[in-house]
Structures are given as C-alpha cells and as structure tokens.
Amino acid sequence: MNIDLNLKIGGAAGQGLQTTGMTLSKTLKKSGFHVFATQYYLSRVRGGHNTFQIRISDSPVYAMTESVDLLLALDAASIEQHMAEVTDGVVVVDKDVIEVKEDQNSVFHVPMLKIARDVCGDKIYSNSVSLGAVIGLLCLEMSDLETILKLSFRKKGEEIIQKNIAAARAGYDHVKENYPGGCKFAVSEPDQKDDLMLINGNEAVGLGALAAGVQFLAAYPMTPSTGVMTYVAANADRFNVVVEQAEDEIAALNMVLGASFAGARSMTTTSGGGFALMTEALGLASITETPAVIFLCQRPGPATGLPTMTEQGDLQFVLNAAQGEFPRCILAPGTPEECFYLTAEAFNIADRYHIPVFVMSDQYLADSLFTLPRFDASRVEVERHLLTDQELRTKNEEYRRYKITPVGISPRALPGQVGTVVVADSDEHDEFGHINEDPDNRIKMNDKRMKKLEVLREEMPAPKIYGRPDASITLIGWGSTFGPLAEVVDILNEKGRSVNLVHFTHIHPLPAEEARNSLSKAKKTICVENNSTGQFARMLKVDAGIDVTGHVLRYDGKPFSPEFIINALKEKEVI
C-alpha cells in the first residue's frame, strides 16, 4: 500500500455533507483509487455535528482509520473535535465563516463562500469550491471531478453544471496559487483503473433482493434499514415488485407471510426495535412453514437506543426471538459483496426449507461505501421449490401441506392451484394444516420442523480463514467487522506477528463441526464484537463447545477501527 490517505468532512446536518462526501468518493474512485467511506451522523434533520470520512488507497481497503490527513471543516465543531486527529495533514477551512482561535500551520484558509459568490453569484456553490480545493491539495487533476459533477447535476441542467464546475475550478486554482508548493499530498492516480463498484451495504442488499427476484416487500421505515426499502422501491416498477409501507412492523411481516403463502417471493426490512414488534409473526412464519426473508439492520438498543449509530447487539435476540422452539436461519454479511450474494442465498434457503431467514447487517455496513469488484449476477440462482400443476395432478393422495418427510420439508403447493386447497394454521396442526391438539401429533410436527434445522446445518459453509492458517493469535469475528479485522491481520503480520482471522457469515444454524475444525489449530482465540457481552462468543460456546481465550468488545455506538482493535490487544497483553 503506497497511498493511504484519510479525508474527513465535518459539518452540521443540512450542510450538504453527504452530497459533498459522495461526490468526492465517486471522483476518487473514478481516478482509480480504492475507496472506503463511512458516515457518523446524529438523529436529526438539521444541525448537530456529523462527519463523512473517506479513505483512499491504491490497494483494497475495507475499514476506516483514525488519523486524518485532510480535514474539511464546515463547522466550528469540526475544528474543536477533530483538530487533534490531524497530525501531519491539512485543515481546510473558510476562516471568513469559522473562527479558528489558534492559528496553526496545518490550517489552510479557503474563502469558499466568497469564491462561490464571486464566481457563481451564490453561496450555495461553496461546497463545490471545497471539492476543487480538496482535489487540488491531493495534487490530482480536475478532469475526474468535472466528469462526476456533470453526472451529479445532469438533471438540473447545463447552467447548474457549469456553475458547479466553475466553482470547483476556482477552489482548485485557489490551492494552486496559495498553498505552498501548489499542493499538499504527492498523490498520483493509479495506472491500473479497475472496473470497481462504489456501493454501500444497504444498496447491495437491495440489489441482491432484486437479483433474487423479490416480488413483494412490506416494511415500516426504520434507521438504518430504510435504505434497502427505498432502493427496492426506486427499482420496483422495472422489476415488477410491489413495495408497501405498512402501518407498523406487525403488519409488515404478517403481510409478507400472506404474500409468501400465496406464492410471492417476499421480504421485510427493519432494525432491532421494529423486529421486536415482528417477533410474534416470526413464530407464525415458522409454524405455518412460510418462507420469509427478514433484513435486520442493527443499531444500539435497548428501545430507541442510539438511532444512527452501530452495534452488533441483536444476535442473541434474533436467535431466541418469539416463543416456542423452531428453526430459523441467520446470515451475516461482512462486505457489500456478501450483502449481495447472501441476500440472494437467503431467498433460496427460505424457499427450500420454508423458514424465516435473516440477513443481519448493521449501521456501519449499511451506510459505508466500499469499492468492490463488479457483482456477478449470473452466480445468483433462483430456486423456488414449488409443486407444479402437473406434479400436483399426478399425486394419488390428497395434498398434505405438512406431510411428514425424512428431511422435514413438505412439498409446497400454492393457493389457487386446481384440485387442491392449502391450509396454514398458527395452532399446532395435522399434515393437512388443520388444528390438532393431540400430543403424538405435536411431537411429530415439532420434530418435523426441527429436523429442517439439522439438515440445513449440514449445508452451512465453514467460516472463512483470512491470513496464515497456523497463526499464534486467531481473531474471531462475524458479520460487518470483517474489514477492520482483516486489516488488523495485515498490519500485525507485516510487523512480524503471527495473526489470522476466522470470520463467520453463516451464523445459525452454526456449522459446529466446521467451526471446531477451523479453530482446532488456534492457540489464542480473541473474539472481536461490536457489543458488550460477547454474544457470538457465547454462541460458539453453546453451539460448538468452543471457549475463546479473550474478547475485544466495543459498544459506544461506533464501529471498530484497526487502531482500536490493536490498542485493545496491547492492553490485554495479547500482543
């Protein structure tokens, strides 16, 4: 890694932070850099102090780092809170607007407001001035920024495009003329420009659902899950999807179950608080053996918790949600790439086993932008496992929706198919679906449902091992922490340590034997989780009898950075 720069934009909500950050991310990706961008925002529409952080490199990057090379300060809080993070970098600030008390060498004044007014006649162009200034300080050319501005303002017409470009160029020129040496970072564009995607976790889940042929989505908006719903809704017409905003989460999952029962591939999206309301219908999905995909994007709880921040605090809840005992499946992607493929896989598992399948993400993965190789849609198979009319006709017995079979999966017909009716019931029922309270029937039906879990367990793949197989320290992670953990492995191994990562995406039913095999050579195992009690480590103990040596836990609402993990390992004297 020759280039590794961290750019931070700080400002209040409503100041155009996200647009500026997105435009800059797209520009730098276009220039051929690998980009990782993450947001920190508060639960309010205007005001507060938010940040948009962009890391660029000539190698793949999947995590944020803590030291800042370039701080674009759009509010006073940016100076107060982040000045110390800029050790050897530059702070871009409009001193006409923001008072900077100590005149430090790192501060570089760009009169964004004045330039915007002078060049374009309106202060709203000051964000574009700042973009030009950043590109200038990076010693890059203007052409990629101009291309991205053209694309971004396409719908607003030629005049707006030209004004934004003029503003950006004026910011760029200001740097060339006033910054000592003309620019700060000797960054040159990578020669090899890969065909990479710039995508966040939520968009990738939405894309995965569309690739898997989702037909119905009902949900109640809840941060940080809403992005999936809006992404699918934006493409619903082209992909023949019905998206309905339900009156509450209770209705959302119940609607999904009705639609799925009648044959539509269906999903819902929510966060922990919304899922709390869905737990009743979760049990219904299971006893009626109705396929459902539940996208659960975690944020810190309990109750309303920290609405815009991140945590992996809902694993044990999802594992145990709803009364009674029944099978469910939990998948936890670590990158947008896995969001795409695992969401598609979730639909197939739901349709094959007739169970609820969770895709568990969190705010960090949902909102962070990654550069990734192009997704391969041809790898997505759509498996419905439905009885055809022909198969139904050639059956010589009356159709039984809940027929007892060796694997616990019964043939699935749909309401409306000629010659039969399909009956589902939330009560314990017989093979036909009718209420049956007989103890023997209860045992048979319970066993039939639970059997599916054991069959599915056989199919769950082993965790991925990142780094050397025989390391002396093994980090264990699940879901979204993949990026920072993989980076920790690289950093420590480069420094002569011997570290690897065993990372789980297929969480439940836990492939216990594979988990034991993967960890059989591990000498010291440290489970790293974004929660305060080590929920996944507990699962490893209960489901696979694996005891970890230690934990690194974070639960302040923020995601892991490699530095945080390395410091914690030092504190615990693991390294």
Partner 1 sequence: MVSIEDYGKYETAWCPGCGNFGILKAIKQALVNLGKEPHEVLIASGIGQSSKLPHYLKCNAFNGLHGRSLPPATGAKVANHELTVLAVTGDGDCYGEGGNHFLHTVRRNPDITMIVHDNQIYGLTKGQASPTSEIGMKTKVQTHGVFNMPLNPLSLAISLDCSFVSRGYAGNIPHLTSLIEKAIQHKGLSLVDVLQPCVSFNKLNTFNWYSERVYEMEDTGYELNDRVKAFERSLEWGDRIPLGVFYVNDKPSFEEHQEVLQSGPLYRNKPEKEKIDPLIDSFI
Query: Contact positions toward partner 1, by CB under 8 A?
Result: 195-199, 203, 207, 210-213, 215-216, 218, 235-242, 244, 246-248, 250-252, 254-264, 266, 280-281, 284, 288, 374-375, 377-378, 380, 382, 414-427, 433-435
Which is closer to partner 1, CB of 263 or CB of 408? Answer: 263
Could you tell me the sign of the dihedral formed by the alpha carbons of 480, 342, 464, 369, in that order?
negative
Q: How far is the CB of 264 from partner 1 (least distance, A)?
A: 4
Return the number of the residue (177 or 237) whose C-beta is nearest partner 1. Answer: 237
342 touches 209 (CB < 8 A): no
> Which lies closer to partner 1 via its Cβ, residue 258 or residue 557?
258
> Which ranges of 71-182 would DSSP assign to H, the alpha helix?
76-82, 112-120, 126-137, 143-152, 158-178
- Closest to partner 1 by CB, 259 vs 475, is 259
Kindly state the smallest distance separating residue 265's Cβ from partner 1, in Å.
8
Cβ proximity of 477 and 530 under 8 Å: no
Give the 3-state secondary structure of residue 297: strand
Cα 305 to Cα 42, 155, 302, 308, 437: the distances in Å are 12, 38, 5, 9, 41
Strands (E) in 104-239, as ranges, are 107-109, 196-200, 216-219
C-alpha 517/C-alpha 325 separation (Å) is: 28
- The DSSP element (H or E) to which 334 belongs, if any, is none
- Inter-CA distances, 562 with 62, 64, 304, 352, 421, Å: 10, 8, 28, 39, 57
Smaller CB separation from partner 1, 108 or 375: 375
Beta bridge partners of 52: 9, 39
Q: In DSSP terms, which residues pair with 369 in a beta bridge?
A: 37, 200
Amino acid occupying residue 262? A
Find tokens 């999936």 and name the residue. 228
Nearest approach in angstroms of CB 134 to partner 1 is 22
Q: Which is nearer to partner 1, 261 or 466 (CB)?
A: 261
Candidates 210, 208, 231; CA nearest to 219 is 231
Least distance (Å) from partner 1 to the CB of residue 497?
Answer: 36
User: What is the β-pairing status of strands 550-553 and 524-529?
Assistant: parallel
CB of 464 to partner 1, least distance (A): 23
SS (H, E, C) 463-487: CEEEECCCCCEEEEEEHHHHHHHHH
268 or 298, CB closer to partner 1? 268
Question: At closest approach, how far in Å is the CB of 32 from partner 1?
Answer: 13
> Which lies closer to partner 1 via its Cβ, residue 308 or residue 343?
343
Least distance from partner 1 to the Cβ atom of residue 432, Å: 10
CB of 208 to partner 1, least distance (A): 10
Q: Which is nearer to partner 1, 213 or 305 (CB)?
A: 213
Least separation in angstroms between residue 373's CB and partner 1 is 10
Specify the pairing of strand 107-109 against strand 356-362: unpaired
The answer to whether the CB of 307 falls within 8 A of the CB of 320 is no
- State in angstroms the smallest separation of the CB of 411 from partner 1: 16
Strand residues in 240-350 grouped as ranges (E): 242-245, 266-270, 292-298, 329-331
What's at 495, amino acid-wise? K
Instruction: Specify whether the CB–CB gap between 64 and 45 falls below 8 A.
Output: no
Closer to partner 1 by Cβ: residue 266 or 535:
266
Closer to partner 1 by Cβ: residue 234 or 450: 234
Q: Closest CB to partner 1 among 149 and 252?
A: 252
Shortest separation between residue 173's beta carbon and partner 1, angstroms: 30
Q: Which of 315, 383, 372 is nearest to 346 (CA)?
A: 383
| CA separation for the pair 505, 365 (Å, rounded) | 13
Do you know the residue count of the chain? 575
CA distances from 248 to 222, 270, 360 (A): 10, 11, 20
Q: What minimum distance in Å lies between the beta carbon of 344 and partner 1?
A: 10
Q: Look at residues 39, 88, 559, 533 and name the one whose alpha carbon lies nearest to residue 302.
A: 533
Query: Which C-beta is closer to partner 1: that of 86 or that of 372?
Result: 372
Q: Cβ distance 115 to 129 under 8 Å?
A: yes
Rounded Cα distance, 55 and 7, in Å: 6
**CA pair distance 247, 244, nearest whole angstrom:** 9
- CB nearer partner 1, residue 284 or residue 366: 284
Looking at beta carbons only, is 251 or 528 nearer to partner 1?
Answer: 251
In angstroms, give the least distance from the CB of 249 to partner 1. 11
**How many CB atoms neighbour CB 71 within 10 A?**
26
Contact call for residues 399 and 416 (beta carbons, < 8 A): no
Least separation, in Å, of the C-beta of 461 and partner 1? Answer: 24
